[in-house]
Amino acid sequence: RHFRWEVSNMFWSPDCEEKVVIGINGQFPGPTIRAKAGDTIVVELKNGLHTEGVVIHWHGIRQIGTPWADGTASISQCAINPEETFTYRFVVDKPGTYFYHGHYGMQRAAGLYGSLIVDVADGEEEPFKYDGELNLLLSDWYHESIYTQMVGLSSNPFRWIGEPQSLLINGRGQFNCSLAAAHTPGAKQCAAAAVAGNRHCAPVVLPVLPNKTYRLRVASTTSLASLNLAVGNHKLTVVEADGNYVEPFAVDDIDIYSGDSYSVLLTTDQDTSANYWVSVGVRGRQPKTAPALAVLNYRPNRASALPAAVPPATPAWNDFARSKAFTYRILGRAGSTPPPPATSDRRIELLNTQNRMGGGHVKWSINNVSMVLPATPYLGALKMGLKSALSSSARPADTFGRGYDVTRPPANPNTTVGDNVYVLAHNATVDVVLQNANALARNVSEVHPWHLHGHDFWVLGYGEGAFRGDAGDVAALNLRNPPLRNTAVIFPYGWTAIRFVADNPGVWAFHCHIEPHLHMGMGVIFAEAVDRVGELPKAAVSCGATATALMAGGGVAGDHV
């Protein structure tokens, strides 16, 4: 599967207001990649942005044997310079619902994303049946540019980005206007125009036939928002999460955190004379953004016949008991999800705190070290042993002090910065406990979805308060049928435990998928058996022809250890 893409800034009106988005080949969202398990994907990516670098991360693809193709600036490669072309070449080994997105600065929030769907290999079958497929890529959208946002985040006093202006379904939303105005007192009616016009912001219509089963592929690439999706009158049966099958279960709605993907089955068994709302709203943070709506269009009804019913209401944002009940139901599918190793070789506990640097700047820190990405990509620096290219002075420890009170703002909020590298032994089984805590303000603890590159992990369990690591906490872990995922959420004041095997030599980011939080340092780097990584493509770790020539001549001097 060979693609030639050019990334560029372009005028676009995702929510009917004209702004600048980062598009690919003139499209927003970028083109959907559709492949079969086992295929090699080749993307020749030309950077058509005039004055900044770009990279693309293939979210959920493990990049087994190709760590340089992970598409993470300063981690797996140099950002691709303007006018340069970098070729990504990797195998999609596992069927599932994936997506891709920018991983440099906050380019994901500027619209650099698209879907990546991998079908089962020829001759293989999914463990469930369906008649058709619908694809929903969810995102949130800000009217302020990412440059303004980034300046605010690193200013003193701190300026938070706030809540998004719109939610988008397949890149389409309607700012300050409700498709369901008839049901929302005072809402501005602009649906008719949006539906009729062939505009960027015309609502998504999902055509279906009665009495069929559809596979809805849903993924979230939001910058900030945690989402909930419901389809009026219809039950949803969850069958896949992050490219792994789960034990099927039926619900009225699903929660989706940034970085998550799901497949749900929906049967069109309702009154065939009507259309139905697909509603996507905000959870986990106090919503200031109207739900996004799409139309489930029972053919042959007209697509423009908006559903007469009230759109499904998003559950209360702070009903965390409900969020947990949904999340805890996600379990590995019997017969297809392998069980985790029974024991682990190492446990790393990561305390998530909001801190202040130098008394002012707000940062997120992991075991009190906030991650700052180096100029030289970790993969090259570690493989070539360029010690001075990393700021290894302040690396976070494997655990945090047992005395830390997660229920209160940090007693001493001062923090420091570092490269946040954890060196993992080849094939070690590693447990990571993500520990949430109170933020800087009293009585605030937020949701953070953590995403791991290069691996799936088993989610062994969740707990309230501080993880003690005692017999009780350990006994509560699920070693029988935990789900395999690449993203796991930590709930306010709680912890989440995951397990993975460090069997993929490379340098892998593990971070909060909330774009501004990553930008503020909320992540770590797992450096895994870097000595076993194959020869790095020069283009990944050097920039421009002079760098390539210098490397060919062995011209990088004086820095070897």
Ligand X SMILES: O=C1O[C@H]([C@@H](O)CO)C(O)=C1O
> Rounded to the nearest whole angstrom, what is the least distance from the CB of residue 72 to ligand X in the complex?
21
User: Least distance in Å: CB of 447 to ligand X?
Assistant: 9
Cα–Cα dist 257/250, whole Å: 19
Nearer to ligand X, 157 or 335 (CB): 157
DSSP 391: -
Whichever of 265 and 351 has its CB closer to ligand X, that residue is: 351
Distance CA 156, CA 457 (A): 37
* C-beta nearest to ligand X: residue: 160
CA neighbor of 49 nearest in space, from 107, 8, 21, 87 = 8
- Return the HEC string of 115-177: EEEEECCCCCCCCCCCCEEEEEEEEEECCCCHHHHHHHHCCCCCCCCCCCCEEEECCECCCCC
Q: Closer CB to ligand X, residue 78 or residue 439?
A: 439
Nearer to ligand X, 163 or 345 (CB): 163
CA distance 484 to 128: 18
By beta-carbon proximity to ligand X, the closer residue of 344 and 367 is 367
Q: Min. distance of Cβ 446 from ligand X in angstroms?
A: 5
- Specify the 3-state DSSP secondary structure of 248: strand
Nearer Cβ to ligand X (159/199): 159
Neighbours of 465 (CB within 10 A): 12
> In the complex, what is the shortest distance from the CB of residue 408 to ligand X, in angstroms, rounded to a whole number?
15
User: CB 517 → ligand X: shortest distance, Å?
Assistant: 6
- Identify which of residues 43 and 153 has a Cβ nearer to ligand X in the complex: 153
Residue identified by tokens 């490379």 is: 506
Decide: 144 and 138 in contact? Cβ < 8 Å. no
Give which of 525, 446, 552 is closest to 491, Cα–Cα.
446
**Least spacing, CB of residue 285 vs ligand X, in Å:** 7
Express the helix, strand and coil content of the chain in percent, nearest 5 each: 10, 40, 50
The nearest distance, CB 520 to ligand X, in angstroms, is 6
| Minimum CB distance to ligand X smaller for 432 or for 520 | 520
List interacting residues with ligand X (CB under 6 A): 160, 439, 446, 517
When the beta carbons of 195 and 439 are compared against ligand X, the nearer one is 439
Whole-angstrom distance, CA of residue 485 vs CA of residue 456: 5
Q: Shortest distance, CB of residue 439 to ligand X, whole angstroms?
A: 5
Question: What is the maximal distance between C-alpha atoms in the chain?
Answer: 75
CA distance 32 to 389: 37
- CB of 159 vs ligand X, minimal distance in Å: 8
* Distance of alpha carbon 288 from alpha carbon 282, whole angstroms: 8
| Cα 22 → chain centroid | 18
